[in-house]
Amino acid sequence: MAEALQIDLTPAAAARVAAIAARQGKPAILRLAVDGGGCAGFQYRFGLADAVENDDTIAERDGVTLVVDEISLDLVRGSAVDFVESLGGASFQVTNPNAASGCGCGTSFSI
């Protein structure tokens, strides 16, 4: 596995992942991936993972693991994954220092 500390998981995001994983009876592993598309060129994709893959970079907080594949890591290195609740709804959000611009929905970005 690649070294950690290249991406971070906030306490709020870790708590939310733990709650979702417990409800679904799955391991508390959140996978962040980047896909081409979205309104700004790339979009974030989140999902629970069953296991950590060999090429994953990991970050751990409060018993929860965040995993990012090698290709996606190049686009999100140095980012933090947070869970935000607001009047507009609740969602995982990525604070990405590599993004040159984003979109209004907060789920896609360009570099």
pLDDT at residue 41 in the model:
76
pTM value? 0.83
Helix or strand run (H / E) with residue 21: helix 11-24
Per-residue pLDDT reduced to its tens digit, 44-101: 899 999 999 999 999 999 999 999 999 999 989 999 999 998 887 888 988 888 777 6
Domains in the chain (CATH in brackets) are: 8-104 (2.60.300.12)
C-alpha distances (whole Å) from 30 to each of 13, 101, 110 are 9, 24, 23
Measured CA to CA, the distance from residue 95 to residue 8 in angstroms comes to 10
Measured CA to CA, the distance from residue 85 to residue 92 in angstroms comes to 9
